[in-house]
């Protein structure tokens, strides 16, 4: 008689009692979710009129694509023949591998593609076949829709974008039975990962009040003002649009000119003050700047009529007036980040027309002034989609922060959507605590009037580049009248503000301009402290018309661009004065930094 095995079975059976409790909890939460959803639906026009058929006009775009495709069936047949030839080769190679023979891959995943990093995708014949089948199909679909003659460029971009969304969603890594890592974990845990994943899914639905709000990080791991946004300072001014924070100095002397930072109001300011190790605020203070940060309000329906000009008047101009009261200085250096940079450029043109010279230098972080090549965000900008968006905003008075977050996440769906679906729902794991993703999930609303103006005048019609194309408070905006020195920082892999588009700004403004290109993307390329030495940057003193020519002549520099900016901005005015403490001037502190506006969450 053989000895009993001392090894545990490969598939661990779940505890029946724990399983029963989990299923009961899931059933109760599911019932409550459905009931809440039905109650909300009964209170909306959706119940009476039904949803719009195709508010994004995706169907029309694909219908036009199909018509163009059928007009040239020869190309389609050739693509299909190539696909089937590759597929037959894949079958043959897989058979050889199963017989123990060598066979190279027909197609390989991008080394940066994290979906297929598990070793089984390479070493197990079945999963390697599944992976390569998917990659061949994805390539076939993409090449088919990208190589259609006569398709309107905007329609072509929309078709390509939504095709990629579908292809990404159908990745075998997103499904239980075709993901080796999920299958292995299911066997190891006796299926407990799937129960935990279902619980995580219900938790996300509960948090989103029936709308799936995928958790990207542990929200309990961070506290604004506790372990993020902790640079010391005081709120010294506020109005209905913003709070103004003055940070405490860390040097005995400071540059005479204060530094005003204008973040985008699409997100919250503390991306520039996450933690001390990657805080741009801390760095600027340590370099002798008196830093003032605008913390925009998170608007509700009462601020639906806030317009772009209101952000200029009650944001920038109110901040300039407050800085003069706090420090006695009229002249400032200013930074605008993304939409904050678009506002800064527009405001500089308004000030130039009025003879206002208080902003003596301007820095633009990944900011567009010319929207002709707006990247994939342009996919969401056409008349049908804008009308649908304005209809939604009209009902509430603002655009929900979740809507904006979903749009940005779709631009990098594999990283910002599907990776969390796999981790949270299939593997049953809790997301990793990550400060940047906590900030990314801390979304803000957009006032209806401002957002409509911004999308139509900038993205849809690109009116900012035409002298007088935009008029704010009776003043025509002409960017060519801006003569202050400007520093443009862009990032090479930016999917929100493509660097070739932001580069156009150096020729729209007519001062002594400098352009620097950083590695990585819209956030990581900006928040890149010197201590980390993570991403390089490129510099070129010349500013040719074409961005590709600029890059061809640029020199790659190791590490962060922050010291380059510091050398540039300090050279604008090197005069020093005694360090300024918040509240020492005519403005008395209202509350400690980071203030109360930034702490308002909407989810």
Does residue 78 sit in helix, strand or coil?
A: helix
Distance (Å) of CA 212 to CA 79, 186, 209: 37, 24, 8
Q: What is the 3-state secondary structure (H, E, C) of 250-277?
A: CCCEEECCCEEEECCCCCCHHHHCCCHH
CA–CA gap between residue 532 and residue 398 (Å, rounded): 39
Buried-exposed string 92-110: b where 16+ CB fall within 10 A, e elsewhere: ebbeebeeeeebeebeebe
338 is catalytic: yes
By the 8 A CB rule, do 498 and 375 touch?
yes
CA–CA gap between residue 587 and residue 234 (Å, rounded): 10
Q: What is the 3-state secondary structure (H, E, C) of 281-322?
A: HHHHHHCCCCEEEEEECCCCHHHCCCCHHHHHHHHHHHHHHH
- Among residues 338, 446, 455, 489, the one annotated as catalytic is 338
Crossing angle of helices 58-71 and 73-98, in 10° steps, is 90
CB atoms closer than 10 angstroms to residue 425: 22
CA nearest 486: which of 362, 573, 572?
362
Catalytic residues: 338
């Amino acid at each position: 008689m053989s000895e009993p095995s001392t090894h545990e079975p490969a598939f661990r059976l779940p505890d029946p009692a724990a399983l029963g409790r989990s299923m009961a909890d899931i059933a109760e939460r599911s019932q409550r979710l459905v009931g809440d959803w039905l109650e909300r639906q009964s209170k909306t026009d959706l119940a009476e009129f039904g949803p719009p058929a195709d508010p994004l006009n995706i169907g029309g775009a694909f219908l036009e694509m199909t018509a163009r495709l059928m007009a040239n069936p020869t190309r389609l047949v050739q693509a299909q023949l190539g696909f089937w030839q590759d597929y037959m080769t894949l079958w043959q190679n897989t058979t050889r591998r199963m017989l123990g023979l060598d066979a190279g891959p027909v197609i390989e995943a991008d080394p940066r593609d994290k979906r297929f990093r598990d070793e089984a995708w390479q070493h197990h014949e079945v999963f390697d076949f599944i992976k390569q089948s998917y990659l061949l199909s994805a390539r076939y679909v993409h090449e088919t829709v990208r190589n259609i003659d006569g398709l309107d460029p905007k329609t072509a971009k929309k078709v390509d974008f939504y095709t990629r969304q579908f292809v990404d969603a159908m990745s075998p890594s997103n499904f239980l039975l075709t993901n080796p890592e999920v299958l292995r974990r299911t066997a190891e845990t006796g299926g407990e990962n799937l129960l935990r994943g279902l619980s995580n899914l219900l938790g996300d639905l509960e948090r989103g009040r029936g709308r799936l709000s995928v958790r990207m990080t542990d929200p309990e791991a961070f506290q604004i003002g506790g372990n993020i946004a902790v640079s010391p300072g005081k709120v010294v001014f506020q109005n209905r649009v913003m709070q103004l924070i003055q940070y405490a100095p860390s040097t005995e002397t400071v540059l005479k000119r204060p530094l005003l930072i204008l973040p985008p109001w699409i997100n919250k300011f503390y991306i520039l003050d996450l933690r001390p190790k990657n805080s741009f605020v801390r760095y600027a203070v340590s370099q002798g700047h008196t830093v003032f940060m605008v913390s925009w309000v998170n608007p509700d329906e009462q601020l639906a009529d806030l317009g772009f000009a209101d952000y200029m008047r009650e944001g920038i101009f109110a901040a300039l007036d407050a800085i003069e009261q706090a420090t006695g200085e009229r002249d400032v250096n200013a930074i605008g980040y993304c939409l904050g940079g678009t506002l800064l450029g527009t405001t500089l043109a308004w000030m130039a027309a009025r003879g206002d010279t208080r902003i003596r230098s301007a820095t633009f972080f990944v900011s567009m002034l010319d929207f002709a090549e707006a990247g994939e965000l342009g996919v969401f900008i056409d008349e049908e989609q804008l009308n649908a968006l304005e209809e939604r905003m009209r009902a509430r008075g603002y655009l929900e922060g979740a809507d904006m977050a979903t749009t940005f996440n779709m631009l990098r769906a594999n990283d910002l959507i599907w990776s969390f679906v796999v981790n949270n729902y299939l593997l049953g794991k809790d997301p990793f605590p990550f400060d940047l993703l906590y900030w990314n999930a801390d979304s803000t609303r957009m006032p209806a009037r401002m957002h409509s103006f911004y999308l139509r005048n900038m993205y849809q019609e690109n009116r900012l580049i035409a002298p007088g194309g935009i008029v704010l408070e009776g003043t025509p905006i002409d960017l060519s009248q801006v003569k202050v020195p400007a520093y443009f920082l862009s990032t090479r892999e930016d999917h929100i503000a493509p660097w070739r588009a932001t580069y156009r700004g150096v020729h729209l403004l007519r001062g002594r301009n400098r352009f620097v290109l950083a590695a990585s993307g819209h956030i990581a390329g900006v928040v890149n402290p010197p201590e980390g030495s993570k991403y390089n940057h490129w510099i070129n003193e010349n500013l040719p018309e074409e961005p590709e020519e600029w890059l061809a002549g640029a020199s790659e520099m190791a590490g962060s661009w922050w010291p380059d900016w510091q050398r540039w901005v300090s050279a604008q005015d090197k005069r020093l004065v005694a360090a300024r403490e918040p509240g020492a001037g005519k403005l008395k502190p209202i509350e400690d930094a980071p203030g109360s506006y930034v702490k308002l969450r909407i989810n």
